[in-house]
Structure 1
Amino acid sequence: MSGCTEPPAPYTLPPSETYSVAPLPHGASVLTSEPVPPPQECGDPTASLRPFSPGEVPTGPTLDAIRARGRLVVGLDTGNNLMSFRNPATGGLEGFDVDIAREIARDLLGSPDKVEYRVLTAAEREQALQDAKVDIVAHTMSITCERRRHVDFSTEYYEAHQRILVMAGSPILGVDDLAGKRVCMTKGTRSLERIRDLVPDATVIAVPTWSDCLVMLQQRQVDATSADDTLLAGMTTQDPYLRIVGPSLGPEPYGIGIAKGKDDLVRFVNGTLERIRADGTWERIYDRWLSELGPSPGPPPATYRD
């Protein structure tokens, strides 16, 4: 009978520490402190192959294969607001890097829409090129001597600068304030290497994507993140309580990544970059996506090695 049953025990909440701290994102790891190897030297890493001559019909095995396929396969991220991200209203991919890739497709295939996108993390970019999973990588990829050992690059199409992002009211105002702090960084990036070199006693949390860093910063799991100003500006547009602080920690020259040995594609891409520097397209792309960073600095000039 119901009158003989014992009343239920009162519900008590578990101790707060069992649920108040959010878990680290999938794939995150705390890096141990160890010496950072010195950077490779190769002269000017931004020097690339000269475009095809004016009036010359660009051809070659890689270009012919892409034309026969009918689409350009581009590796990028979909979580880098302003650079390459999915528009929640349309479902389409947009951003500065997306528009650069579309201009390459316009020149090569006659339409900026003949692009197939494949999503990559920063750590996957080089391997995707080596495995021929993509034709090009347009993914805020800085040109470095170390990377040139594994892939080729176009000429520089944008110069970003690494800076620091914190929540409003943070006492962190520059790189010296990161000592002893938890800093979120993305795996496979030059930004991570630079922070470990400049602040060896910072605790670096390495994650797969920059959007992971945004969430960890908002949840107060880390004190700061440091990345290219292009990426940080994208984060500030998503959260008005974020602040970019401190001077530049160093330049990051972006190039289009291309697999080794595909010189015809390198020359073709450099031809497109020459065109958009000259005809105002680069400026229009900047004004559309990166005006958060201030007036246009103008496209970086090309440097050629042949």
Structure 2
Amino acid sequence: MYRPQRALRPAVSACAVALLALAVGCAPQPESKTSGKASASAAEKCARGSLGTRTSGKLTVATDEPAYEPWFKDDKPGNGKGFESAVTYAVARRLGYADGNVVWQSVPFNKAFAPGAKTFDFDINQVSISTERKRAVDFSSGYYDVRQAVIALKNSKAAKATSLADLKNLKLGAQVGTTSLDYIDDVVKPTRQAAAYAKNDQAKSALKNGQVDAIVTDLPTAFYITAAEVTDARIVGQFENRGSAPEQFGLVLDKGSALTSCVTKAVDALRADGTLAKIETQWLSEAVDAPVLK
């Protein structure tokens, strides 16, 4: 705030100040450059191929091991095959990184969104965006809208379930730390404690061995399991989404990452121009529908 110094002739000084204020108020002001600088700064921040990644000129991407179908193909994230591998390379290209400059690393599912510094630029591993997880990490906007589904052996009592009530007295299982397990606990609310497994492979084995009556996974994974891995199982049905917004998978970034806004812009652009829809049609076309359990 401007404070005029004490003058010898207060009256004259006061008039001068008033006239000066009037002149400044009427004089044309120089054009503000703040917005222009902000736009330039944003553009520089997301400059193609020049982001502040962990390794200059490279984009380090993480996922779990093994990398399951239909999200990846042949347990090789770097081959560009499978939905999430294809999405990764589409995001990388949008950010200005050639396929050869994408570096993959293995990070366990639960570690990807646990508190603490990350070793990757972003992680892609069917991680659902949630308020709780956002306390520890950043997410891009969603790259896939997903529902959870129930799988049971074809000749079992569980396979005949048509409602949430039919699931209530069953022994259900899912991978630990997933929204699949959350749906069991929060939506089904079974009378028997759900079994939590470190990997989906363990949940599938428990189903085959009769240790659980049914397991819960995301719908595309359920289609793949029943078609290729546990062929004597079937999809019992899918859950309705909770709330008004669909459950979405998002790319996981370090909390407060400078890359979050740029990666989000890339995902949004891929959704807007139809690229995500094309990738989904190519790799998830079999995961189209299942009865809804209410």
TM-score with structure 1 setting the length: 0.69
Instruction: Say yes or no: does 1:171 pair with 2:160.
Output: no
Cα distance between partner residues in 1 of 2:50 and 2:67: 29
Query: Match for residue 258 of structure 1?
Result: 253
Among candidates 225, 234, 238, match of residue 243 of structure 1: 234
Instruction: Say yes or no: does 1:108 pair with 2:95.
Output: yes
Whether the aligned pair in 1 keeps the contact of 2:59 and 2:97 (CA below 8 Å) is no
Cα distance between partner residues in 2 of 1:225 and 1:186: 9
Query: Match for residue 212 of structure 1?
Result: 202
1:279 positional shift: 2.9
Alignment of 1:173-188 (within 5 A): 173=161, 174-188=163-177
Distance 1:53 1:168, change over 3 A: farther
Tell me the amino acid that sits aligned with residue 110 of structure 2: A
Cα distance between partner residues in 1 of 2:44 and 2:126: 26
Cα distance between partner residues in 2 of 1:91 and 1:143: 24
The runs of 5 or more residues in structure 1 that have no matched partner are 1-51, 296-306
Corresponding residue SS for 1:152: strand
The runs of 5 or more residues in structure 2 that have no matched partner are 1-37, 290-294
Corresponding residue SS for 1:86: coil
More RCO (CA 8 Å, sep 6+): 1
Query: Match for residue 12 of structure 1?
Result: none
Structure of larger gyration radius: 2
Distance 1:82 1:233, change over 3 A: same
Cα distance between partner residues in 1 of 2:238 and 2:56: 45
Cα distance between partner residues in 1 of 2:177 and 2:145: 19
Query: Match for residue 143 of structure 1?
Result: 129
Cα distance between partner residues in 2 of 1:126 and 1:231: 20
Query: Match for residue 56 of structure 2?
Result: 69
Query: Match for residue 282 of structure 2?
Result: 288
Distance 1:53 1:188, change over 3 A: farther
1:120 positional shift: 2.9
Cα distance between partner residues in 2 of 1:60 and 1:130: 24
Whether the aligned pair in 2 keeps the contact of 1:228 and 1:252 (CA below 8 Å) is no
Query: Match for residue 117 of structure 1?
Result: 104
Corresponding residue SS for 1:156: strand
Alignment of 1:42-121 (within 5 A): 57-59=43-45, 64-66=51-53, 68-77=55-64, 78-87=66-75, 92=79, 94-121=81-108
The Cα RMSD (Å) is 3.0
1:81 positional shift: 1.3
Distance 1:63 1:175, change over 3 A: farther
Cα distance between partner residues in 1 of 2:142 and 2:179: 16
Whether the aligned pair in 1 keeps the contact of 2:71 and 2:82 (CA below 8 Å) is yes
Cα distance between partner residues in 2 of 1:79 and 1:165: 20
Corresponding residue SS for 2:45: coil
Judging by fraction of residues, say which structure has more helix. Answer: 2
